[in-house]
Structure formats: C-alpha cells, structure tokens
C-alpha cells in the first residue's frame, strides 16, 4: 500500500495553478511512540492554505517546496502506539493533504461520527465554525439589534458567522458573489439580506441595506469589499479581521480609500487566528453542536472526489466558484 499525497511543487506567483502542486505516491508512514497511524477520509480545503504557499512571513511557517500541503482531515485510527486513541477511533487533525498520516495522538481531537456526518467536523462543527464563533462572539462582541455584515457569506466561516449573529438577535447582511450564492445565503442560511459584490455600486448598496450604519463587519476578504463596508461603518463599529482572501493571490494590495473611517468612527479592528484561542474550542463546539442539533445551523458542503482532485477544487474555491464548505472525499467509508 502506498500513501498518495499532494505536495507543493513550486511557489505560485499570483493565482495558483494546478502545476504548482504535484500528486505523488509515497511510502506508508509508520507511527512512532505516542503516535497513531490515520487513514484520512475527508480533507478540508481552506483559504488560509493559500497564504501558507507563499514565502512571506506569516503567523505560521510556509510550506516548503516539496513538502506535503498543509491542511486538516477527518480520519480513522488504524494503528495506535498511544494510550489516548484506539484503532477505529475517528479523529480530526492537521495531517496535510494525504491519504495516510502518522501523528502524535495529542495533536488530534476525537470526533463523534454519531453526532454529525464526518465532513461536518471540518466545517459547521469544525475549525471554520469555531473561527466564526471566536471572531463574532469574542472579537466583535455583538449586541441584539445591531447590524452585522459578513463577507464570503456562503463560505465555511461566513455562513456560520452570519447564522450566529442572527441567533444573537442581530440583523445580518451577507456579501457574496453571484445570484446563486446570494439566494442560498438568504433562503437557506436565513440572513436578512445578501449583496452581490460582482454587481456595481456595492458601497451604495451597503449604505442602503444598513441605514443605521454597520455595527460589526466580519471580514473574510479585504480589498474592495472591505473598502465598501468601511464607507458605512457606524460609530464604535468593530471589525473582526478573519481573512483577506482577495489579497492572497496578488503582489499589489488593493489601495483602500476609506481607512479614515477607522478614526472618524472610533472603530476597533481585531485581527485573529483561531489557533490562538484553543481554550475557547470546547465552549464553542458545545454551543455549535447545540444549535446544530436544534436545527438552527444550516450547512452545505461542496464535495470533490479523490485526492487527485484537491488542487483543482482548491483553485475553484479561491476563485469563489463554490458554495459552502469545500471538502475532498479521500476514501470510501
């Protein structure tokens, strides 16, 4: 048996291309002491992985050329050298884009396949949902009645951020690309409105949709969408700066025109990374699971089949071609 992997073949310049990756068969890994061998079943594709392909300094090391791409999977323990985990246990962890991985048991979290379908543990009950929860409840701190804007509203993080804001009694305006996504955001996710950033006049439309001003902006994209929302911030607004996906594939950052709004409106901007907030995960997952079981948290996955399709699915996700959480099915269960 061989271990199929996706590796970084070279650093992309601008938009990622399929030949920036290589798909190879590697020897099966062997678990060391306190490690387990995992069969990876579902791979999570997330925008932050694009940043890790660059050489620029970031909060985490870059993926080296030739290394396995960084990413989280849900899988099944097939061999254990740790008392913490037994064969058959389901786990989630940072295995990278591959079909098998040997990892220390302490770096994995157990997931309950009875609680929700496995890929949900990578989305609506996984890292993206905890990111949304931390950003909204601990960075932005909403009050009922406030107006919340969420960009990339149909994505894995944005879809949950907006739903949490609704559950907290806020009025929620999504921003997404295209009529299909916008309809999903309103009809399935229950946002109060959704604006298509691909149509002209976004700043004007944000102002119309938020006549009291925007109290909270949960930003996943940066760039011109951020600029449009800056123009309509309410006094004392908060921006949870979660991602800047529009800026990950360019060497020339978008020149924001409306930063002055941060001073004029006495705004708080808080950049954050969910992995800085590990102590909040149990509380976040407990609350998310409660909503999930009560039917208060809609979710959708875009599924690609087989690890060889991961590069193409990743490129499509970055281009905004997919709705919901992008996952790759690695093996039949």
140 vs 307 by CB, closer to a second copy: 140
Please pick, from the candidates 62, 270, 298, 309, the single residue that binds a second copy as defined by CB under 8 A: 270
Is position 59 an interface residue for a second copy (rule: CB under 8 A)?
yes
- List Cα–Cα distances, 45 to 50, 144, 247, in angstroms: 10, 33, 18
Minimal CA–CA distance to 101: which of 193, 42, 39, 41? 39
User: In this chain, which of 23, 26, 183, 273 binds a second copy, going by CB under 8 A?
Assistant: 273
Q: How far apart are CB 181 and a second copy at their closest, in Å?
A: 23
In the complex with a second copy, the residue whose CB is nearer, 281 or 298, is 281
Q: Residue 247 interacts with a second copy (CB under 8 A)? A: yes
Closer residue to a second copy (CB): 114 or 255: 255
Of 6-14, 32-40, 106-114, 261-269, the segment contacting a second copy by CB under 8 A is: 261-269
Report the nearest approach of a second copy to the CB of residue 262 (Å).
Answer: 4
Contacts of 279 (CB under 8 A, 6+ apart): none
Counting contacts by CB under 8 A, is residue 58 touching a second copy?
A: yes
- What's the min distance (Å) between Cβ of 24 and a second copy? 30
Does residue 267 belong to the site contacting a second copy (CB under 8 A)?
yes
Bridge-based pairing state of the strands 301-305 and 325-329:
parallel
For a second copy, the binding residue among 62, 268, 296, 302 (CB under 8 A) is: 268
- With tokens 């990374």, the residue in question is 273
Contact 154, 196 (CB under 8 A): no
Q: Does 207 bind a second copy (CB under 8 A)?
A: no
Please provide the DSSP assignment of 34-69 as one string: TEEEEEEEEEE--THHHHTTS-S--SSPPPPTTSBP
Taking contact as CB under 8 A, which single stretch among the options 154-162, 176-184, 188-196, 253-261 is the one that binds a second copy? 253-261
Residues 225-244 that bind a second copy (CB under 8 A): 235, 241-244
Which residues share a beta bridge with 4? 25
The Cα 168–Cα 163 span in angstroms is 9
Tell me whether residue 201 or residue 253 sits nearer to a second copy (CB atom). 253
Q: Any contact of residue 269 with a second copy (CB under 8 A)?
A: yes
Assign residue 215 a region: left if phi > 0, alpha if psi is -120 to 50, beta otherwise? alpha
Judge whether 39 and 331 are in contact, CB under 8 Å. yes
Q: Torsions phi, psi of 39, nearest 5?
A: -95, 115
Task: Provide, rounded to whole angstroms, the least separation between the CB of residue 248 and a second copy.
Answer: 9
- Choose which of 62, 265, 298, 309 interacts with a second copy (CB under 8 A): 265
- DSSP 8-state symbol, 333: -
Residues near a second copy (CB under 8 A):
57-59, 222, 235, 241-244, 247, 253, 255-260, 262-273, 276
């Amino acid at each position: 048996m061989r271990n199929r992997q996706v590796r970084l073949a070279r650093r992309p310049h601008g938009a990622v291309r399929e030949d920036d990756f290589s798909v190879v068969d590697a020897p099966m890994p062997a678990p060391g002491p306190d490690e387990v061998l995992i069969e990876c079943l579902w791979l999570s594709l997330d925008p932050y992985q694009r940043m890790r392909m660059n050489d620029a300094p970031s909060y985490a090391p870059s993926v080296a050329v030739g290394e396995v791409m960084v990413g989280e999977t849900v899988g099944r323990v097939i061999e254990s050298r740790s008392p913490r985990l037994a064969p058959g246990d389901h786990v989630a962890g940072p295995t990278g884009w591959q079909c098998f991985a040997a990892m220390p048991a302490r770096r994995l979290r157990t997931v309950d396949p009875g609680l929700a379908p496995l890929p949900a543990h990578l989305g609506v009950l996984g890292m993206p949902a905890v990111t949304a929860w931390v950003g909204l409840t601990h960075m932005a701190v909403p009050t009922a009645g406030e107006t919340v804007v969420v960009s990339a509203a149909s994505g894995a993080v944005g879809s949950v951020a907006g739903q949490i804001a609704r559950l907290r009694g806020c009025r929620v305006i999504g921003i997404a690309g295209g009529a299909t996504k916008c309809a999903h955001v309103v009809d399935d996710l229950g946002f109060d409105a959704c604006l298509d950033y691909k149509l002209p006049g976004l700043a004007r439309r944000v102002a119309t949709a938020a006549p009291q001003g925007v109290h909270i902006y949960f930003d996943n994209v940066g760039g011109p969408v951020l600029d449009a929302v800056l123009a309509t911030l309410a006094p004392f607004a908060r921006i949870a700066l979660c991602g800047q996906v529009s800026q990950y594939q360019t060497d020339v950052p978008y020149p924001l025109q409306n930063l002055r709004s941060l001073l004029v409106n006495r705004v708080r901007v808080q950049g954050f990374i969910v992995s800085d907030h590990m102590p909040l995960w149990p509380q976040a997952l407990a609350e998310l699971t409660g909503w999930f079981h009560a039917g208060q948290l809609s979710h959708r996955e875009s599924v690609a089949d087989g690890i060889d399709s991961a590069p193409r699915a990743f490129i499509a996700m970055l281009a905004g071609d997919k709705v919901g959480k992008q996952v790759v099915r690695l093996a039949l269960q």
